[in-house]
Structure 1
């Protein structure tokens, strides 16, 4: 996700926020092509140069995701040229502690999947398995190795989302032209309202400038999961960050990441 602009813009007229439908898949894929998350950009620098290829890849997994009762995708849509256009999205899962074990949480259904009418289904997209290997997903090896270390750090740290009832925010994005208009905040606050009603926390794992966005909404970083990498994929220590090293910043070609948590005020 690209971080919303700090400049305030008018709210888009006629914007609606609702659950994603199968017919939204092509437009939702367009959004993800235009606003890839910073972790993907750090590892795969050619993504933005291959929009058609990436659109096909996104359509493939989105078809399944919108029909998965354990994944709730919410979208912000506007009417453009007589059609609804997805300009923002969030993806949610819900975990509940297994009453039998009393220790581990499991993903549960968040919504009921309704039968898909032919008129409400998205058009087929050619995903020929004999196509050439992805050019968009040619990685920067140093950056990919760095992100692998980041994932290892996350997996080695105690993961509270796996041992408590909670919501997990799995994805959040807004089209660049619609950033700074409160769309990402609205999509996130929907989950915050649900979590507050149920008295459970929200966990999210992300990278880059979006961490600051979550921080402004009251999320806090879990210190044991934080990592920083520079443009060459080298580790930057927490002490170096505290003493002014800024080579990990996106503007310098680096990246940072962490798991964050939001806890309702009454919990």
Structure 2
């Protein structure tokens, strides 16, 4: 296979951010939250969120690298895909999930803060009713750069998460972690194929958040037992 998975590092952050923006270019909700005409305004904040995830001991960020384009300067590695997983909490302290933290960089004035806040709060609320933090895994994001779609990268990253869930064990507990996620309309069929099932949904009327010609966008909350 011309791709390999490895843990993400700080040096990867700018390329991960670019890859994510490209991957979600066709998703109305993502574009409404982070308008592409203001990318320069939002990029520092976006990268700050990615770095917050790297510093979280319970979070695992993985990148898929195109080994055909590896160079002596690894800063030029081509990042074909990215996924971020919250693993079961290893302590009784609250987890430091990036979606619950404030990045070091201030929220950008050109991004849609009311929409971002509402969506993240809805995700937290729906997920919180289902998950056991001492047991379960959350897939926060999985994205393939458009240039690499259809080449098995999503499958490789999902299989990594499924295999990780199968091998994670908690003290005094033999249950395999479940994996929760929120699926975009485009990704929904892929997750269904790999065994995820619906348990709830988040529907947002984008017109209510100042988006002209906005649609009613539904994100499906899913779980894999």
Flag whether TM exceeds 0.5 (same fold): yes
Is 1:168 the counterpart of 2:138 in the alignment?
yes
1:52 to partner: Cα distance: 2.8
Residue 224 of structure 2 corresponds to residue 262 of structure 1: yes
- RMSD between superposed Cα atoms in Å: 3.7
CA offset at residue 98 of structure 1? 7.1
Q: Is the 8 A contact 1:22 1:66 kept in 2?
A: yes
- Structure 2: unaligned runs, 5 residues or longer: 98-104, 169-175, 209-213
Work out whether residues 206 and 259 of structure 1, in 8 Å CA contact, stay in contact via their aligned partners in 2.
yes
Which residue in the other structure is 2:85 paired with?
Answer: 92
Partner of 2:159: 189
State the shift of 1:75 in Å. 0.3
**CA deviation map 1:198-245 (0-9, x unaligned):** 4221111233322222111110001xx224456646xxxxxxxxxxxx
Q: Does 1:78 align with 2:66?
A: yes
1:193 and 1:158 map into 2 onto residues whose CA distance is 23
Choose the corresponding residue for 2:14, options 12, 18, 26.
26
- The DSSP-based 3-state class of the residue aligned with 2:109 is coil
Is 1:212 equivalent to 2:189 in the alignment? yes
Tell me the alpha carbon deviations over residues 120-157 of structure 1, each in whole angstroms, 9 at most, x when there is no partner.
Answer: xxxxxxx7x7x9x532x147x7xx39x93895597278
Look up the match of 2:42.
54
Match of 1:180 in 2: 150
Where does residue 56 of structure 2 map in the other structure? 68
Structure 1's unaligned 5+ residue stretches are 1-10, 100-104, 110-126, 234-251
**Whole-Å Cα distance in 1 between the matches of residues 160 and 109 of structure 2?**
36
How far has the Cα of 1:17 moved from its partner? Answer: 0.9
CA distance in structure 1 between the aligned counterparts of 2:7 and 2:30, rounded to whole angstroms: 27
Structure holding more helix per residue:
2
Q: Please tell me whether Structure 1 or Structure 2 has the larger radius of gyration of its CA atoms.
A: 1
Distance in 1, Cα, partners of 2:177 & 2:60: 17
> In the alignment, what sits opposite 1:239?
none
Counterpart residue number, 2:30 = 41
CA distance in 1, matches of 2:61, 2:120: 26
Superposition TM-score, scaled by structure 1 size: 0.61
Q: TM-score, normalised by structure 2?
A: 0.71
Distance (Å, rounded) in 2 between the aligned partners of 1:149 and 1:81? 37
User: Larger relative contact order (C-alpha < 8 A, sep ≥ 6)?
Assistant: 1
The DSSP-based 3-state class of the residue aligned with 1:259 is strand
17 and 60 in structure 1: CA distance in 2 versus 1, 3 angstrom threshold: same
Q: What is the CA–CA distance in structure 1 between the aligned matches of 2:77 and 2:123, rounded to whole Å?
A: 41
Query: Structure 1 residues 148 and 77 mapped into 2: Cα distance closer, same or farther (>3 Å)?
Result: same
Matches within 5 A, 1:112-261: 134-135=109-110, 137-138=111-112, 144=115, 148=118, 151-152=121-122, 155=125, 159-162=129-132, 165-198=135-168, 199-222=176-199, 225-229=200-204, 232=207, 253-261=215-223
Q: Secondary structure of 2:57's match?
A: coil
Q: 1:67 to 1:256 in 2, by over 3 A?
A: same
